[in-house]
Amino acid sequence: MRQVEKYLLKIALLLGIFIMPFAASAEEIDMGEKVSKFLNDTGFAQLFAGNWLCLVMIVVACVLFYLAIVKKFEPLLLLPIAFGMLLTNLPGAGLFHPELFDGGHVHWANFTNSNNVGLLDYLYLGVKLGIYPCIIFVGVGAMTDFGPLLANPKSFLLGAAAQLGIFATFLGALALGFTYAEAGSIGIIGGADGPTAIYLTSKLAPSLLGPIAVAAYSYMALVPVIQPPIMKALTTQKEREIVMKQLRKVSKKEKIVFPIVVTIFVSLLLPSAAPLIGCLMLGNLMRECGVVERLSKTVQNELMNICTIFLGISVGATTTAAAFLNFQTLAILVIGVLAFGIGSAGGVLLAKFMNLFTKNKINPLIGSAGVSAVPMAARVSQNVGQEANPGNFLLMHAMGPNVAGVIGSAVAAGILLSFLG
């Protein structure tokens, strides 16, 4: 029996030696095809095959990285936007599919095939459905003190005047050939409120979401550069030196009642603004009531940070080469800075006008803080005021129009959505 086993083993070895060259040859042919397929499927091959515009967008993403990390331009959102832009423009990665959201609608039927849906497609649903901006507004409300606004109700008017940039830019965008919905989305840049701009654009003109978000947050970061020349050009040295009286102390009861009253009044007057105003005031009520401190801290920190990450990456995902590299994007960037400038000027000019009729003069510099860049715009008013008069302290006075601008931009978005949605 052992002898038979030895013979069988020898035969198997001989057959193996005879077949091995043919098997090796077949394996080489298979491996060759696999290597060729692998090389053709790489992003490098697709870049050289005509997707060079993706390379341009990767460079743009790197520029945004530089602005966020080195120049510290709104890094908390500009950095995630830049990374989303990088991910969506990597050829072959398949992380985002614009066709799933064609025509401004979510094509839910296509989400059933998971092979045709990328990670960023799922994350973008939070933007498209208006979830992320509203949650961020809860956090903004929890971090906002409306005391200066309640102490000086005139601030409401200054915050409203600063929204002039939104509606003036809306008309300008129409003149350039944009549709009503697109013009409304571009105009909201003048409010200097990133979440509001994203919320409105996702509803009216989702194809412009990437450029508008980049423009809105870039100009918010440039508040200290854009606003001072406008403020100085529209005011005299004497006006900039005006010292305002100290604000009265606002009671806790007033601070608790305020968010409830605003939510009811604005939501009944303008139901389309209810999601933003409601979330903003919910956060503020959590802050002021004093009985849900743990929830208030959560929405200010963990919840808001998580949503900021998802919001930034999702918005960046919409900046595909086709959507970003066109005349519209350039027009949006130019019109956006005009919107911001007009909004800043509107608050200053109204303050000057109010001084014609009021006994207690208003320093016009606080009017520029009516845009929603909290608290940066208020700090700029303080800095320019102290340049003119080192003993002048305008920060708390400027915070009134500043937080009024947050409410004003949300209301403006509700008006545009009501008329154009």
**pLDDT value of position 283:** 97
Q: For residue 50, what pLDDT band results from cuts at 50, 70 and 90? A: low
Alpha carbon distance 45, 32 (integer Å) = 17
Q: For residue 375, what pLDDT band results from cuts at 50, 70 and 90? A: confident
The answer to whether residue 216 scores a pLDDT higher than 90 is no
**pLDDT value of position 59:** 94
Alpha carbon distance 341, 226 (integer Å) = 7
The answer to whether residue 169 scores a pLDDT higher than 50 is yes
C-beta separation of 212 from 173 below 8 A = no
**pLDDT value of position 6:** 54
The answer to whether residue 228 scores a pLDDT higher than 60 is yes
> pLDDT tens for residues 69-87?
998 888 988 999 999 999 9
Domain extent listing, the chain: 130-420
Share of the chain above pLDDT 90, in %: 61
HSE toward the beta carbon, residue 91, CA cutoff 13 A: 17
**pLDDT value of position 39:** 66
Mean pLDDT, residues 407-414 = 93
The answer to whether residue 214 scores a pLDDT higher than 70 is yes
Mean pLDDT of the chain: 87
The pTM (predicted TM-score) of the whole model is 0.86
Alpha carbon distance 128, 32 (integer Å) = 45
Q: For residue 3, what pLDDT band results from cuts at 50, 70 and 90? A: low
Alpha carbon distance 51, 54 (integer Å) = 6
- Burial readout 217-239 (b: 16 or more C-beta within 10 A, e: otherwise): bbbbbbbeebbbebbbebbeeeb
Alpha carbon distance 170, 308 (integer Å) = 27
> pLDDT tens for residues 247-274?
999 999 999 999 999 999 999 999 999 9
- Of 114-128, 229-243, 299-313, 397-411, which range is least confident? 114-128
Mean pLDDT, residues 4-13 = 48
> pLDDT tens for residues 323-355?
888 888 889 988 988 888 999 999 999 999 999
Mean pLDDT, residues 105-126 = 88
The answer to whether residue 237 scores a pLDDT higher than 90 is yes
**pLDDT value of position 25:** 47
- Burial readout 267-290 (b: 16 or more C-beta within 10 A, e: otherwise): beebebbbbbbbbbbbbbbbbbee
Mean pLDDT, residues 116-136 = 93
Alpha carbon distance 347, 172 (integer Å) = 19
